Amino acid sequence: MFATFVSMCKNKEIRNRILFTLAMLFIFRFGTAITVPGVNTAELLSGADDNSLIAMMNLLGGGGLEQLSIFALGVGPYITASIIIQLLSMDVIPPLTELAKSGATGRKQLDRYTRYLAVVLSFFQGFTMVFSFSKTYPTLLESNAVFAQCFYISTLLTAGSMFLLWIGDRISMKGIGNGVSIIIMAGIVARLPHQFTSAYQTLVGSLDSSAMFGGLLNFGLFILCYVLIMIFVVFMQLAERKIPIQYTSSTVQTRKKDMTYLPLKINSASVIPVIFSSAIMVAPLQIARFFYAEGSDVLVTMTKYLGLTTPISLVIYVILILMFTFFYTKLQVDPEKIAENLGKSGTYIPGIRPGTETKEYITKVLNRITVLGAIGLAFIAVLPHALPLFTALPQSMGLGGTGIIIVVGVAMETVKQLEGQLTQKSYRGFMTR
The angle subtended at Cα 391 by Cα 390 and Cα 397, nearest 5°, is: 105
Q: Is the pLDDT at 270 greater than 90, yes or no?
A: no
CA atoms within 13 A on the CB side of 157: 30
What does CATH list as the number for 12-210? 1.10.3370.10
197-237, pLDDT tens digit by residue? 877 887 777 666 667 777 788 888 888 888 888 888 888 88
Count Cβ atoms below 10 Å from residue 19 Cβ, excluding itself: 11
Q: Which of 69-78, 90-99, 181-190, 371-380 has the lowest mean pLDDT?
A: 90-99
Instruction: Point out which residues pair with 265 in neighbouring strands.
Output: 240
Share of the chain above pLDDT 70, in %: 83
Instruction: List the one residue out of 130, 123, 121 whose CA is nearest residue 80.
Output: 121
Q: What is the pLDDT of residue 60?
A: 61
Instruction: List the one residue out of 121, 119, 159, 127 whose CA is nearest residue 146.
Output: 127
**List of residues 6+ apart from 171 with CB closer than 8 A:** 20, 21, 24, 177, 178, 179, 182, 183
Per the rule left: phi > 0, alpha: psi between -120 and 50, beta: everything else, 428 is: alpha
Q: What is the pLDDT of residue 423?
A: 72
Per-residue DSSP letters for 22-73?
A: HHHHHHHHHHHT-BPTTB--HHHHHHTTT-HHHHHHHHHTTT-TTTTBTTTT
Instruction: Point out which residues pair with 260 in neighbouring strands.
Output: 245
Instruction: Point out which residues pair with 382 in neighbouring strands.
Output: none
Comparing 432 with 421, the larger pLDDT belongs to 421
Q: Which amino acid is at 369?
A: I
User: Cα separation of 387 and 53, whole Å?
Assistant: 19
Mean pLDDT of 60-87: 79
Q: Is the pLDDT at 361 greater than 80, yes or no?
A: yes
Assess contact for 290 and 131: CB atoms under 8 A: yes
* Signed CA dihedral, 399, 114, 134, 316: sign only: negative
Comparing 31 with 270, the larger pLDDT belongs to 31
Q: Which amino acid is at 133?
A: F
Q: Which amino acid is at 384?
A: P
Determine phi and psi for 425, rounding to 5 degrees. -65, -40
282-333, pLDDT tens digit by residue? 777 767 766 776 677 887 888 788 877 788 988 999 999 999 898 888 878 8
Q: What is the pLDDT of residue 207?
A: 64
Position 27 confidence tier, pLDDT thresholds 50, 70, 90: very high
Comparing 271 with 374, the larger pLDDT belongs to 374
Q: What is the pLDDT of residue 87?
A: 78
Greatest mean pLDDT among 29-33, 87-91, 138-142, 209-213: 29-33
Domain ranges of the chain: 12-210
Q: What is the pLDDT of residue 167?
A: 93
**List of residues 6+ apart from 349 with CB closer than 8 A:** 243, 244, 245, 246, 262, 342, 358, 361
Assess contact for 243 and 261: CB atoms under 8 A: yes
Q: How many residues does the chain have?
A: 433
Comparing 169 with 253, the larger pLDDT belongs to 169
Assess contact for 224 and 203: CB atoms under 8 A: no
Assess contact for 232 and 288: CB atoms under 8 A: no
Q: Which amino acid is at 36?
A: V
Max Cα-Cα span within the chain: 83
Average pLDDT value over all residues in the chain:
80
Mean pLDDT of 338-352: 85
Instruction: List the one residue out of 157, 85, 146, 94 whose CA is nearest residue 114.
Output: 85
Q: What is the pLDDT of residue 252?
A: 45
Per-residue DSSP letters for 314-383?
A: HHHHHHHHHHHHHHHHHHH--HHHHHHHHHHTTEE-TTS-TTHHHHHHHHHHHHHHHHHHHHHHHHHHHH
Mean pLDDT of 135-141: 75
pTM value surpassing 0.85: no
CA atoms within 13 A on the CB side of 87: 10
Q: Which amino acid is at 104?
A: A
Assess contact for 70 and 31: CB atoms under 8 A: yes
